[in-house]
Structure 1
Amino acid sequence: MSKLHYSGICEVAEQIESGKLSPVDLTRHMLDRIDAIDKDLKSFMTVTRDRALKEAEKAEREIADGDYRGRLHGIPIAIKDLIDAKDLPTQGGLAVLKGNVAANDAPVLKKLSAAGAILIGKLNMTEGAMAGYHRDFEIPVNPWNAGYWSGASSSGSGVSVAAGLCFAALGTDTAGSIRFPAMANGVVGLKPTFGLVGKSGALTLGDSLDHIGPLTRRVADAAIMLEVMAGYDRFDRHSLDRPVPDLTSNLDAGIAGMRIGYDATYTAIGASKELIAAHEAALLELEKLGAQIVEVSVPSQTTELMDAWFAICASEAVAAHAKTYPARAADYGGYFGDFLALGTTITQEQVDAAWQLRRAFSAEFNEFLASVDALALPSGIGPLQNDYDLYQNAEALQPLFDKAHLEYTVPFDMAGAPGLTVRCGFTAEGMPLAIQFGGAPFSEATLCRIGHAYEQATSWHESNPPI
């Protein structure tokens, strides 16, 4: 058990299916590890010990009886604390939701449970899935170095996976909050096409921008998770009624002949020299695997696009919090309170103009993405030192998010296109570096093939935090 917690799902699943590994023993090991380590890392909001052990015992009986459901059967996972789990708190980092208990599992959790996954806990996050934290909640600590940022709202998800406390975690991404924590904590993060994963039973930040997706330690694990998570959700008006994508059967087919776009000027906008060098090395590796690296010019990322994102997201957040804001404005933290206050000043004319810009940009961006098999780009500038008080207001924290460079993430949320973040190196200080592969809507299978091929050809994913 000493290093099993750092294994990928496929490796663990093989042992469970063969009977060499007990789901109960595995779950107890992970629970014990959480008890021993997470008091310092603070990734878990709630540890679901009783539920996890009951589900593990059930999985063990089913597998012994020959009813093996697949590679998630008996695998401990965790979810961001804005996704409902029956009889457990769903607070979303919000003091105004303390005491809020879910009546049912969210549909996405039901799908994972039906596949045999074991819920081991719910994870800490920023207030309301925006940028800052509420002082009543703990801030997850980067397991590679406590002096560095652990990512945005799905920070607990990134930390828990990187630290070997669960084998996969669910996060949400509205402006980069799956890909930022994946980058910061050196794990895999997959933001799917908008509508591919239903999001009913999850608290809303921006209804037309929120995506639910997996964070894992291996690309294959993200593919396995998303294949189970995807599918129509009749309670989500944005859910797409289309066949669940096959992400795993051709994962090992290689990338020979694939065209991967790269815009060196776009990458240089915010990426550090170390990150640029790591990306160039990654592109050379992809060429060795048979891919063609194509020079492209990414559609211009104007300040107007970011302003449009803000207008849409802030206005949708105000609508989502209508029951508690502004009636309980004093109970909100500095950053999210400021965000909602600004949201109330946005006019319908501004929202309409933002949507007009969004539609035009989305059409242009998705057409551009369709011209290649994938676009290689950063998920952000790279590791960020955490010298900010993350409980502060919007003005105090704006410099952090200026450094994060949302122009690498927001376009994919605005256009509803998928993005996959994979580790691609380390800084001189030992912090992980990441590369993002973005593609046209519904290109997840291609992105996973590229990420998996790169991962198999390199050894970056084999290193673990110095815990």
Structure 2
Amino acid sequence: MNPMPPALHYLELSELATQLQARTASPVEVTRALLDRIARLDPSLRAFALLTADDAMKQAEVAEVEIKNGRYRGPLHGVPIAVKDLCWLQGHPTAAGMPIHQDFYPPEDASVVRRLKEAGAIILGKLQLTEGAYSDHHPSISAPKNPWNPEYWPGISSTGGAAATAAGLCYGSIASDTGGSIRWPSAATGLTGLKPTWGRVSRHGVFELAATLDHVGPMARSAIDCALLLAAIAGPDPKDPTALLAPVPDYARLARQQIKGLRIGVDPEWNDDDVDPAVQTVLSQTVEIFRSLGATILEVQCPDVTSAITDWTENCAVEAVVAHEATYPARKQEYGPVLASVVEHGREISATSYQKILVRRLQLRGRMAALFEKIDLLLTPVHPFESLTLEAIQTLGEQPQLIFKLQRFTCPFNMTGNPTITLPGGFAEDGLPLAFQLVAAHLGEPALLRAGTAFQAVTNWHRRHPLA
């Protein structure tokens, strides 16, 4: 018996694109259907900080006419997506999860938004996030819910993007990741999330948390979908001189190549030390799947990242001081307690301490680069435990070891700038998704996408959805 085809709202972006190009689906009808679904589900999910329904319908009407007249722009043309409310959207406020910015109307679109529009994507609106993209929502904001179970953590900080994409409110979302904010939400909600190489995607018009740690990338339902989104938003940008000048390859074509001979490194000690059995099971099963697909599995020893995890907190805090210097401490009383404490901490760190962090960071980057001379990809957990309840997450401030464990497999790769992909790899006994992470050398996104596409061709974890 053939499996039931997915409902319209749960099609992969690439599947919808095929229908739109063939004109068996209508941008107007699809957008209207998603807006109706948002109206029905988002009052409880709270994924959207701002819904731009009128603009979305106008964009859909334009896309429909263009496609009908043979002016097809590519696989994002007519596809409804949404962006994290860090990204400037001209004509609409960008709050960054902060009431202090709720009346900020940017002078232009962020570069990622402009590129999405040029590709013909339909922007449904802005997605909610933790305050300033740090670890907690502002006390005045109702936090997005995990659509798999509202009592469980939806991740940090791209919470709205995870909820909306997983619940079928959009076909993909643009997020950011400073220490795990694409990877944690993707893992928590069964999504595929790509954190590109630092600088692969322009940060112009994207509210900063920590400039040298911030990565902008997609969350979607499959590796192919991430490839299509990355191809649209990546590349040099005169408005962001830190954006890499390397040309943008055809990620979707490269993603479909076989992985025979691809070298995947596994560090048994790092992956097994204090890692929950369910996560270890996902990793071991993943290794066997990749081996069956022709990949070469190599045992490696990763550089010690212990100091990098501690250094990340200090590094982020210092850079957050710069990001918030226009409003902190001048409007300190309008900040939530968690973000305020981070900025305060950053103001106390000496220049000497910060310089030592920068040197250690460069050393770690060099050691990671040496590791990727021997392998193409590194397999790790996203975090070493199963899905966390909201009750457990609320104790983070009282459990420094829990914070350390949460950051253990994510923050080091913001310190080095390496690209990563998060892939759903199973489910826990409580019914919540489990995931794993692959890491590549700088500009190694094609290898990540190849491995993710090959894995998803023989598994169906990414095709399971939380709601009808």
**TM-score using structure 2 length:** 0.96
**1:165 partner letter:** L
**2:438 partner letter:** F
Q: What do residues 27-66 of structure 1 show as CA deviations (whole Å, max 9, x unaligned)?
A: 0000010010011111110011011001000000100110
| Counterpart in the other structure of 2:103 | 99
In the alignment, structure 1 residue 243 sits paired with structure 2 residue 247 = yes
SS at the partner of 1:387? helix
| Counterpart in the other structure of 1:424 | 425
| Counterpart in the other structure of 2:79 | 75
**2:201 partner letter:** V
In the alignment, structure 1 residue 316 sits paired with structure 2 residue 319 = yes
In the alignment, structure 1 residue 334 sits paired with structure 2 residue 337 = yes
**1:340 partner letter:** V
Q: How does 1:422-461 map to 2 (within 5 A)?
A: 422-461=423-462
Q: Which ranges of structure 2 fall in alignment gaps of 5 or more residues?
A: none
Farther off after superposition, 79-88 or 268-277: 268-277
| Counterpart in the other structure of 2:360 | 357
Q: Distance in 2 between matches of 1:370 and 1:443?
A: 12
| Counterpart in the other structure of 1:197 | 201
In the alignment, structure 1 residue 366 sits paired with structure 2 residue 353 = no
Could you tell me how far 1:147 is from its partner in structure 2? 1.4
Contact 2:167 2:467 in 1 (8 A): no
Residue number among 280, 284, 289 corresponding to 1:285 in the alignment: 289
Contact 1:199 1:233 in 2 (8 A): no
Could you tell me how far 1:122 is from its partner in structure 2? 0.5
Could you tell me how far 1:334 is from its partner in structure 2? 1.1
Cα–Cα, structure 1 residues 117 and 400, in superposed 2: closer, same or farther, change >3 Å? farther
Q: What do residues 303-331 of structure 1 show as CA deviations (whole Å, max 9, x unaligned)?
A: x2123222221111101111110111111
Residue number among 181, 187, 190 corresponding to 1:186 in the alignment: 190
In the alignment, structure 1 residue 13 sits paired with structure 2 residue 14 = no
In the alignment, structure 1 residue 345 sits paired with structure 2 residue 348 = yes
Contact 1:38 1:44 in 2 (8 A): yes
**1:416 partner letter:** G
| Counterpart in the other structure of 1:226 | 230
Q: What do residues 121-146 of structure 1 show as CA deviations (whole Å, max 9, x unaligned)?
A: 10010001110110121211111111
Could you tell me how far 1:245 is from its partner in structure 2? 2.5
SS at the partner of 1:103? coil
Residue number among 396, 401, 404 corresponding to 2:403 in the alignment: 401
Q: What do residues 414-454 of structure 1 show as CA deviations (whole Å, max 9, x unaligned)?
A: 11110000001000111111011101001100110001100
Could you tell me how far 1:399 is from its partner in structure 2? 6.3
Q: Distance in 1 between matches of 2:61 and 2:427?
A: 40
SS at the partner of 1:433? strand
Contact 1:187 1:423 in 2 (8 A): yes
Residue number among 45, 50, 57 corresponding to 1:53 in the alignment: 57
Q: What do residues 255-286 of structure 1 show as CA deviations (whole Å, max 9, x unaligned)?
A: 11111111121112343111110110111011
Q: Distance in 2 between matches of 1:459 and 1:231?
A: 31
**1:233 partner letter:** D
In the alignment, structure 1 residue 177 sits paired with structure 2 residue 185 = no
SS at the partner of 2:82? strand
Q: Distance in 2 between matches of 1:245 and 1:416?
A: 19
Contact 1:124 1:138 in 2 (8 A): no
Q: Which ranges of structure 1 fall in alignment gaps of 5 or more residues?
A: none
SS at the partner of 1:84? coil
Contact 2:221 2:463 in 1 (8 A): no
Residue number among 137, 143, 148 corresponding to 1:139 in the alignment: 143
**Aligned Cα root-mean-square deviation (Å):** 1.5
SS at the partner of 2:435? strand
Could you tell me how far 1:380 is from its partner in structure 2? 1.1
| Counterpart in the other structure of 2:122 | 118
Cα–Cα, structure 1 residues 400 and 128, in superposed 2: closer, same or farther, change >3 Å? farther
- Identity rate, percent: 38
SS at the partner of 1:306? helix
Q: Distance in 2 between matches of 1:285 and 1:438?
A: 17
SS at the partner of 1:293? strand
Could you tell me how far 1:389 is from its partner in structure 2? 7.3
Q: Distance in 1 between matches of 2:466 and 2:403?
A: 25
Contact 1:230 1:245 in 2 (8 A): no
Contact 1:388 1:397 in 2 (8 A): no
| Counterpart in the other structure of 1:325 | 328
Cα–Cα, structure 1 residues 17 and 364, in superposed 2: closer, same or farther, change >3 Å? same
Q: How does 1:145-184 map to 2 (within 5 A)?
A: 145-184=149-188
Could you tell me how far 1:224 is from its partner in structure 2? 0.5
Farther off after superposition, 394-403 or 290-299: 394-403
Count of aligned pairs: 463
**1:311 partner letter:** E
SS at the partner of 1:359? helix
Contact 2:134 2:157 in 1 (8 A): yes
Contact 1:426 1:433 in 2 (8 A): yes
Q: What do residues 220-253 of structure 1 show as CA deviations (whole Å, max 9, x unaligned)?
A: 0000000111011222231111211321113222
Q: Distance in 2 between matches of 1:370 and 1:200?
A: 32
Contact 1:72 1:115 in 2 (8 A): yes
